[in-house]
Amino acid sequence: MNVKTAMQSLQGIMEHYTQTEYDLKLNLLKFVYLKYLIDNGYFSEEHIDEIRRFQEFSLETILRFRGYGENITAKDAVLVFSKEDQLALSHRLFLQEWFVGEDFTRLVTAVDIITSYKVDKKRGAVYTPTNIIELMLRLSDNQITPSSKLVDPACGNGAFLLHAYERFDAKLKETVPDSFVRHEQILSRHLYGCDIDPLSVLCTKLLLSLKHRKVFFSPNILCQDVLLDPPWKNEEFDLVITNPPYVGHKLLHTEYIKLLQQKYKEVFENKSDLSFCFVALAQKLLKKNGTIAFFTSRYFLEAYSSAKLRAFLLKHFTFQHIIDFYGVRILKGIGIDSLIFVARNHPPSKKDTIEVKKAVFENRKKASSEKLTQSLLTGQDELYFQQFSFPHRYLNATSFHLISEEERALVEKIEKASFIMLSDILEDHQGIITGLDKAFVLAAEDEKRHEFDRKNLKPWIKNSDIRPYCIRDHRYLLLYANDLNPAVHQAEMAHLAPYKNRLSERRECLRGTLPWYHLQWGRNKRHFDKQKIVFPYKAEMNAFALDNHKLYFSADVYGLTLKSYAYPVTYEYMCILLNSRLYDFYYKSFAKKLGEKMYEYYPNMVLRLKVPLMKISEEAIAGAYRQVVASIGTKEYEENIENLNDFVYKLFDLTEAEKNHVEFRYKTK
């Protein structure tokens, strides 16, 4: 029977006897554990007869049958079944085969299904793929020795510990030949774990105990908040390996955030992720030169709010391996972009290098996440990963830019030839937040527009309307309500009246700082009523367009205007540079990746770009810009784009090899 189907069938019986989600999961777990023991002949015939007759379905009774006299959970939900359901459960226990042949993998799958049922996302619990676990253990294998200690401070159901057990078992066989003595030693001296969820801790204890037929439960798998109260006061570990919880600051209680800020002030601040604290905890738990191995979000590489964590890592750790999946979603069902890093608990030297593998899909066959991770274990990863040695000294707290030496040389060539940083010549302006688009945004053909004062209606665009050099004809109008005079603009006020209750509930309205009919954030109109460059905050590639029509835009769009004292450059020149393949490559060398294809284009990143002085006449630049815009949708467009790309390459005197390196990324797009 399919494991998931079996669990659903079992749940259909159990849920009639349980009051809470915890009780349901606990009893499903007890049944699965008992079923594994029965399927694999752990009990005598006498015990089997007793199991057939017993009325109280308790963990203590199950453990007693296995020869263990103590209870290993503080809370048990003892169930008494009806005769009908007892017969149904007995049928499953004794007549169906679920785990015959000590099918431990199937058992782990069943346990994961149980514990993942209705998981609260505030816990941030995510199950780590087996390929990832094996890879991380392989990369840190030098820390698994007959005398070493390993800890997973967010152990969940014990996946890392279960796989690490096998490695310790193999390395101890020669010196500890007795299998049970070896089993007891591994659980007592080598493997440690902690989790805030009592059910996960119980799962880990039960699964580890099944690594030997003779019963023994680890004393080192503990249930508590490891961040606020680490249980290992006098222990130092050789390896801290984990997949820490993915919990952003918005899902944490205010009081808990304050406690974390006090205890982990070196890494944790207002917008930090809970996983940052686990890095600082790992550093405290490790021996000098011990190893940290994390499977975590790649967010910390580039995010502005992760600067403190980057500084902490550079102060305390020497990175040895970074495997950046670069937006390929390894974890199913959640929007987390993952990476693996393995580092030594020792400050880096100038000579240290990092072995980097970075997923690349341009010009490569699309692969599933399973195939991608499997390739890292089979040595076929060159098909899907860019691989290079990265000098540790290039990392800095501002951002971790993982690029090859060839790419770094190309970026340095661009910046050496560029006299101007965009932040020196351009101002950025965020779009409008209406507070309720339904009230303030109308279709361009809406008949109501004839009733309104034309001065209050503004052409309105969104993120999806912008392409390189091109802004789609506006399909919407914005009612710029901040200029309304209720006594004069009665038609506009009548239009907004049905939305008054919803608009009045906005925070600023409740505080009395915003009239109910105003836009939430109307910005300054002069930023919209002038020539400007607009671009979407999220896109697959650079998309900058010149707006000469006083367009207004939503908050998912940004505008750029030249400062009054700017160098002699033009908007057209800026657009030609920014839309070129070279600048797309340049920006993506440090931009924040979002998923498999998208990049983040916030101004604080875009304005880091450097550009050269304009060495060609304004008329020539303006003419080239008009020509490419006029050719959009025609056969000449691609030719014009190629000509502009060549123009930008020549600005920087790129060699054919350098040009080909950039072009390679775009051949199949």
What is the share, in percent, of the chain residues with pLDDT greater than 70? Answer: 97
Residue 390 to residue 352: CA distance in whole angstroms:
9
Contacts of 177 (CB under 8 A, 6+ apart): none
Residue 73 to residue 23: CA distance in whole angstroms:
12
pLDDT score, position 363 = 41
Residue from 540, 276, 302 nearest 401 by CA = 302
**Strand spans (E) along 215-298:** 221-223, 237-242, 286-297
Residue 154 to residue 447: CA distance in whole angstroms:
59
pLDDT score, position 360 = 84
Least confident of 96-110, 147-161, 243-257, 496-510: 243-257
**Strand spans (E) along 537-639:** 538-539, 545-547, 552-553, 557-562, 593-594, 598-600, 610-611
Least confident of 54-63, 507-516, 565-574: 54-63
Structural tokens at position 506: 């906005």
Q: What is the pLDDT of residues 80-90, one digit of tens each?
A: 888 899 889 99
Residue from 89, 85, 83, 77 nearest 19 by CA = 77
SS3 312: helix
Q: What is the pLDDT of residues 21-48, one digit of tens each?
A: 999 999 999 999 999 999 999 988 888 8
Q: In this model, does residue 254 exceed pLDDT 70?
A: yes
Residue 304 to residue 603: CA distance in whole angstroms:
12
pLDDT score, position 249 = 67
Structure confidence at residue 118 as a pLDDT band (50, 70, 90): low
pLDDT score, position 128 = 92
Structure confidence at residue 64 as a pLDDT band (50, 70, 90): confident
Kindly state the helix (H) or strand (E) to which residue 356 belongs, with its residue range: strand 353-359
121-402 topology per CATH: Rossmann fold (3.40.50)
Continuous H helices in 174-216: 179-185, 198-209
255 or 559, which is more confident: 559
Least confident of 353-362, 495-504, 545-554, 573-582: 353-362
Looking at residue 186, the DSSP 8-state letter turns out to be I
Q: What is the pLDDT of residues 478-534, one digit of tens each?
A: 999 999 999 999 999 999 999 999 999 999 999 999 999 999 999 999 999 999 999
Least confident of 91-100, 304-313, 659-668: 659-668
Q: In this model, does residue 53 exceed pLDDT 90?
A: no
Kindly state the helix (H) or strand (E) to which residue 324 belongs, with its residue range: strand 318-324
The CATH number of the structural domain formed by 425-664 is 3.90.220.20
Q: In this model, does residue 121 exceed pLDDT 70?
A: no
On whether the CB atoms of residues 550 and 459 are closer than 8 A, the answer is yes
Q: From its phi and psi, is residue 156 left (phi > 0), alpha (psi between -120 and 50) or beta?
A: left
Least confident of 237-251, 451-465, 504-518: 237-251
For the chain, give every domain's residue range.
3-116, 121-402, 425-664
Continuous H helices in 507-591: 507-511, 571-579, 581-588
On whether the CB atoms of residues 283 and 309 are closer than 8 A, the answer is no
Of 242-251, 437-446, 563-572, give the range with the top mean pLDDT. Answer: 437-446
Characterize the bridge pairing of strands 457-461 and 552-553: parallel
Q: In this model, does residue 6 exceed pLDDT 90?
A: no
Q: In this model, does residue 61 exceed pLDDT 80?
A: yes
Residue 311 to residue 283: CA distance in whole angstroms:
13
On whether the CB atoms of residues 593 and 298 are closer than 8 A, the answer is yes
Residue 423 to residue 352: CA distance in whole angstroms:
33
Structure confidence at residue 317 as a pLDDT band (50, 70, 90): very high
Q: In this model, does residue 223 exceed pLDDT 50?
A: yes
Q: Please name the residue that has the structure tokens 């390189």.
A: 468
Least confident of 174-178, 334-338, 500-504, 601-605: 334-338
305 or 148, which is more confident: 148
Structural tokens at position 565: 């004292």
Q: In this model, does residue 624 exceed pLDDT 80?
A: yes
Least confident of 11-20, 215-224, 459-468: 11-20
Alpha-carbon dihedral of residues 170, 176, 178, 184, nearest 10 degrees?
-80
Q: In this model, does residue 250 exceed pLDDT 80?
A: no
Characterize the bridge pairing of strands 532-536 and 457-461: unpaired
Query: What average pLDDT does this structure show over 433-451?
Result: 95
For the chain, give the mean pLDDT: 92
